[in-house]
Amino acid sequence: MTIVSFMLMIACAAGGGSSLSGQVFDNAGEPLARARVFVEQGLAGSIRESRTDNEGRYRFDNVASGTIGVFAIADGHGFGGLSITVPSDEDVRELTIRLRPPVTLSGRIVNEAGEPVSGARVMRIGLMNEPQSNNPHATTKLGIPYAKLEPMGFPPITTDDRGRFTVSALPRDGSIALKAACHGYAQQGVADLRAGDSNVEIVLTRGVLVRGRVVTRATRVPLSGAVVVLRNAQPPHDTALTRTDGSGDFAIRLQPGVYLYRASGGGFQGVGWEELLVTGQQSAQSVTIYAAASCDIRGKVANAMTGEPVGGARVVLRTFGNPDSSARTNTRGEYALRGVEGENTVILESAPGFILPERNARPVHAAENERVELPTFWVLPMPEVHLTVVDEELEPAPRCVTSLVQPPQFGWQAADDSGRVPLRIGQLASEGVVLGRVEHLDHPLGALFAFTARDNSEPVVQLLPHATITGRVASESGSPVPGVAVSVFLVDDQMESPLWRTVSGPDGRFEIPGAVPHATLVCVAASSVHTAASAPFVLEPLQTKDVGALTMPRSAAGTSLLGQRLDWQAFSRLAGPDAREAGQQPAVLAFCPQEQAMMTIEAWQRLSTILSTSGLTFAVVVDAPVTGIPEPSVVVLEGKRPATASTYLVSAEGRVVSETFGLPSVTAIQQLQQGAR
């Protein structure tokens, strides 16, 4: 017997009854009437269409909860839209879509021998820098499911006999990704393309033929018509879809790599996302995917002090130990998840402004098609916390800044004249632990602090003289491995955020100034597939500790710019002061993706204000154009990250003197300024 599935839509979570509404504008801010607006309800889900009225307004009812893509197109305009997570039974309003003038992108698709591939299709278009200034909960990345639009009157994008193709109606200044496929080849995704490019080349390979069968978990009956989703675990997380035939079998070609897979259909769904390693050592391999009958899991999140509902909390589901799906609570504090028959675990992962309960996970053993109502998750409001900083004489220490490591937050908070620092904590894990750093703005002093937010006492931290960590990243033969990210962690710490980071230089060596003594630390070098750790160590004040060699393969090498010139002033200006008017002076540069631009600009403005020093330029370099930036006090440029690190301290002569990620240490900035004197 084979179970046949006629499902046309797979939702990311249970529940329904949500609605989406908003308005479509042109690039000048004028509403667009009769624009075509589409909703895609998940990668494997259906697509629906609507039209805007005379005021550019649109609305969709009965939208399934989960991650939804909303996009639009109009005559004389390119595609535009947004991706957003929709809670169950929620009315999501005022979603603004801004359409830019259209441009094309063209190129060719070839095989490994460089020969043109005829009849290849562009299946999906990624818009990677959609402006979302009016949509605070939306992402700047959106996938246009072009293959799903073809039955709705959009012409297929296929290659001709020379392998050439053209993609129309792309937004001007857009950052683009494409997904191409052709029978007999593995699907291929390419990113970092610019709308308007005319010489794009996509190379298709045969890949590995993966054959599989989807069967029910309880009875091992084949599942016909099930949608199989395979997602590459490595960036850019390319996703491939296929369907099972009448015998529950499927076949698809994949590039070598690590994939997460699941299948759904006919009231059954995969038991979470399971891992598949496609090695490429063989031309074909097989896999069996198990699907279980589904169930409904619902619950609430509420304020333990007032009983009021908590909206925007994130709840995740694991089925049979595998990651499955997630949902956010609506304004009534409600969430809905689609679980499976058997073992489920519901975890309250975050609730902005609240401390999670100590027991934030609930096991659920459900029967087929059962609706399970879970007890409420009760969360405590985040208390106002102040940290007092004292010096070695236990006197108040003003002129200090703190930065939070856990929960991770981006930016400095400054102490007042009495040494007190307000810690503005957005959300906490169930343990309620806060971990952070303190640095003095004028002297090489610092400290680590850790406390439990549930405690009512005000924490006090004492500054101590800094220490320095040095070492090198080398291969087994002793040759240097440059451009490897090196991080320092607390030993026996369950938190994943590092205390300090840098990159191994061209000679493999690294140096981390401004480290704090009297904590048990470990130094870790890491690439995408390899790691190496030092022995644990404890620093003494003013000590320079050499942790020795961290052994990594030569294949782990990245790029370090230490000691090299970085002509950052040549990047295109987007906003803020003109970098060239500042002349030759040291600079603190942050490279960031477009979706992190506003956060990074605000943090860099904060650094500049707190340091209040002349002769030092703060600049943010964004990887794609950004619109709607309020006139910033720091330089904002457009450009790509040039090497492994994301933050560079550059001397007045234009040479890189320090590489890190995120916020630089005060010590590194002090050394940069001293070198300019």
- Average pLDDT for 463-483: 96
Closest CA to 625 of 583, 675, 573: 573
Residue that finishes a domain, picked among 353, 381, 409: 381
Question: What's the mean per-residue pLDDT of the chain?
Answer: 90
Domain count, the chain: 5
CATH classification at residue 281: 2.60.40.1120
Query: Tokens standing for 205?
Result: 């390979």
Residues 407-416: contacts with CB under 8 Å, at least 24 apart: 407/434, 408/497, 410/599, 410/600, 410/603, 410/662, 410/663, 411/602, 411/603, 411/606, 411/663, 412/603, 412/606, 412/607, 412/610, 412/663, 414/610, 415/389
Residue with tokens 């992962």: 349
DSSP 8-state symbol, 577: S
Q: With 0-12 CB in 10 A as exposed, 13-18 as middle and 19+ as buried, what is 462? A: middle
State residue 675's pLDDT score: 72
Number of helical H runs and strand E runs in the chain: 3, 54
Backbone angles phi, psi at 409, to 5 degrees: -135, 150
Let me know: does 114 contact 201? Beta carbons within 8 Å: no
Let me know: does 54 contact 43? Beta carbons within 8 Å: no
- For 504-520, the pLDDT digits (tens) are 999 999 999 999 999 99
Q: Give the whole-number percent of the chain exceeding pLDDT 70.
A: 94
CATH classification at residue 486: 2.60.40.10
Q: Which amino acid appears at position 347 of this protein?
A: I
If asked whether residues 374 and 435 sit together in one domain, one would say no
Question: Measured between alpha carbons, how far is residue 391 from residues 289, 387, 397, 405, 462 in Å?
Answer: 60, 13, 6, 22, 6
Asked if the structure places residue 398 within a domain, the reply is yes
pTM of the model: 0.74
Neighbours of 249 (CB within 10 A): 14
- For 218-257, the pLDDT digits (tens) are 899 999 999 999 998 876 678 899 999 999 999 999 999 8
Asked if the structure places residue 653 within a domain, the reply is yes
pLDDT at position 642 over 80: yes
Residue 671, Cα to own-chain centre: how many angstroms?
32
If asked whether residues 63 and 86 sit together in one domain, one would say yes
Residue that finishes a domain, picked among 328, 359, 381: 381
Which residues have C-beta within 8 Å of that of residue 524, sequence separation ≥ 6?
Answer: 486, 487, 488, 489, 498, 531, 532, 533, 534, 550
If asked whether residues 177 and 158 sit together in one domain, one would say yes
Pairing, β 200-204 against β 102-111:
parallel
Let me know: does 159 contact 119? Beta carbons within 8 Å: yes
- For 177-193, the pLDDT digits (tens) are 999 999 999 999 898 89
If asked whether residues 195 and 222 sit together in one domain, one would say no
Q: With 0-12 CB in 10 A as exposed, 13-18 as middle and 19+ as buried, what is 529? A: exposed
Q: With 0-12 CB in 10 A as exposed, 13-18 as middle and 19+ as buried, what is 629? A: middle
Residue 495 C-beta-side C-alpha neighbours within 13 Å: 21
If asked whether residues 611 and 478 sit together in one domain, one would say no
Range(s) of the domain holding residue 662 = 568-676
Let me know: does 21 contact 53? Beta carbons within 8 Å: no
First to last CA, the chain: 81
Beta strands in 132-256 (DSSP E): 142-144, 164-171, 175-181, 188-194, 200-204, 208-216, 223-224, 227-232, 239-243, 249-254
Asked if the structure places residue 563 within a domain, the reply is no
CATH classification at residue 590: 3.40.30.10
Query: Tokens standing for 256?
Result: 């070598």
Let me know: does 112 contact 205? Beta carbons within 8 Å: yes
If asked whether residues 173 and 214 sit together in one domain, one would say no
Between 2-6, 122-126, 522-526, the lowest mean confidence (pLDDT) is in 2-6
Asked if the structure places residue 440 within a domain, the reply is yes
